[in-house]
Structure 1
Amino acid sequence: MSLQQVTRRFGATQALDGLTLEARAGEVTCVLGPNGAGKTTAVEIAVGLQRADAGTVRVLGQDPWGADADHRARVGVMLQDGGLPQAVTPTTLLRHLARLWADPVDVAELVDRLELGDAARRPVRRLSGGQRQRVALAAALVGRPEVAFLDEPTAGLDPHARREVHRLVAGIARDGAAVVVTTHSFDEAERLADHVVVVVAGQVAERGRVPDICRRSGAGSLEDAYFVLTDGALR
């Protein structure tokens, strides 16, 4: 997955300003940045929900804007607003989605790993926010995607559920997928990321392995490095 010198403007707002972002197969790339930095816009461009104003976008060798069904079948997506149907149960939804894929994950196993339990038999509208979050993640991963874009996948989850999500995400990367995770959690990035990208004002402020980012910024932790990178840019 590669975004090269991508720009995107909404009226007077420059959401992306020459953003370059890459994610390799078999690795987790965590994208950090303040609210409004352009993280979600970048993800939506990468999955073909928005079109870049300029720059080059390639996912699995294709421009995702207008990509065909075969391309989309190789990509898993979890957005902040999952758009889940409200009247069906998670089990019904996931079994339906699984039938659309050639080699889906076992639905019962996925439900068990995400600890949905009895919630999997209740309509989505009756689930808690954390439960809906886990259903959206399951929907993104049930098809064994080659590339997965996960926008804040653990937001609202308790620590135990968050740890299981981390294990699941790391596992799909080990199986060969390129995984892009946007997050506000420094702990999550330190646990999951092979590479971290810090985005500020629509540009990449820093990228690399956590130890390298800390060393270059003169910080003792990723959190400290983040504030070194973002405080000056946001003043």
Structure 2
Amino acid sequence: MENAKPLFEIVLFGIKIPIHEVIVLQWIIMLFIISFVLVLFKKLRTVPNNLQSFGEIVVETINNLVLENMGKKYIKFAPFIGTLAIFLTFMNLFDLFGFRPPTSDYSVALGLAIMSFVLIQANAIKENGLKHYFKAFAKPFSFMLPLNIIERLVVPISLSLRLFGNVLAAVIIVELLYKALGYVTKILNISIPILQIGLPIPFHIYFSIFDGLIQMLIFIMLTMIFIKTTSEH
């Protein structure tokens, strides 16, 4: 596969680290988000302009989402949930710019899931203490210990596979559509690929935009649920 070839390598302590396209795309997204935030908060106004108003709406929406689904006690997770939501949104919509979404690569989806998993377990230990954290695995009955351990360990797999599978399926469907339209264009001997210009738009609206936003929402909702339920277990 062409995407399996690294774009370049970084040598760190004598170890060659391959840098693939999905990593570069994530760097571009992070650079854009950081630049936007720096511009947005460079000079805050009492009477906000359009850009500041948009930023305030995003922050307020994320805060309300956390409050409604987790409660006031967990409002401290709003920055993490917000960052995760924005980052996932940009990654899932990146095929609109002619690139495969980074989340269609399982390593990216798994990395995000592991990050959420570590936060979930760390918060549970912080809230309940290490002793109670491990004792909870044997509740409500001691014979449930193996099942509770499996249930806890399957969280990153569940999060990552759900995100990766749905995004990849949408990408494949859109790519097959373009190939089919290209084939029809070739059969009809049309010099301009007019079929590939207008017809894919509805499919992009559903599979790229709608599905991308839905998968982002599912991922952050499950993350919030796991944080709350694991902490209160």
TM-score, structure 2 normalization: 0.29
Q: Which has the higher helix share?
A: 2
Larger Rg: 2
Larger RCO: Structure 1 or Structure 2 (Cα < 8 Å, ≥ 6 residues apart)?
Answer: 1
**Structure with the higher strand share, 1 or 2:** 1
What is the TM-score of this pair, normalised by structure 1?
A: 0.28
